[in-house]
Amino acid sequence: MAYVYLIPIRAKMARTPETSDHTSIQQRINATKQTQQPNNLMPFVGNPRQDMPKVIAYSLKDFCELVDTTGKIIREDKRGYIKENNPILERLGLDSEQWLTLTTEFEQHLNTAAGSEHLMRKFGIHTNHQRIRGIGKVRTLFKHA
């Protein structure tokens, strides 16, 4: 999968995984920033157990870092590579703790909507909710995003 995700970068069609349009890694990253799991993609699970449904036995955070690190390797036989020096989570405006919370504790903090504070407030207006559960947590999680 990492090889496939790097094709747009190696072909100089994108600079980073998160900017490679029409790829499932970009879809996964965008969904995670909205605290969601793409319905059409098999989920990543960091700690698999024996009785689990069909999943990818790898955490999404670790996989994104693997793709990012691999994409930074300069290859003489390839046109492109990831030039950004900062790690992918930093480029997304998330730290490891924020990412972990977004991907493992979603239902504990958010239940009607997910996203940045601005988007959640728009959702509240749209749905006529006076108060949206999780605004404080979102403010903390997305403070740098």
On the question of pLDDT at 115 being above 70, the answer is no
CA distance 39 to 35: 13
Give the up-direction half-sphere exposure of residue 50: CA atoms within 13 A in the CB hemisphere: 0
On the question of pLDDT at 24 being above 70, the answer is yes
Higher-scoring residue by pLDDT: 91, 21: 21
Highest mean pLDDT among 56-60, 64-68, 98-102, 131-135: 64-68
Residue 12 backbone zone (phi > 0: left; psi -120 to 50: alpha; other: beta): left
Q: What is the mean pLDDT of the chain?
A: 78
H helix count then E strand count, the chain:
9, 0
Whole-number CA gyration radius for the chain = 17
In sequence order, the 6+-apart residues with CB closer than 8 A to the CB of 22 are: none
| Cβ proximity of 120 and 134 under 8 Å | yes
What is the tens place of the pLDDT at every residue in 35-69?
788 888 887 766 555 555 566 666 777 888 888 88
Residue 71: name the closest of 117, 17, 136, 22 by CA: 17
Lowest average pLDDT, out of 66-70, 81-85, 91-95, 141-145, goes to 141-145
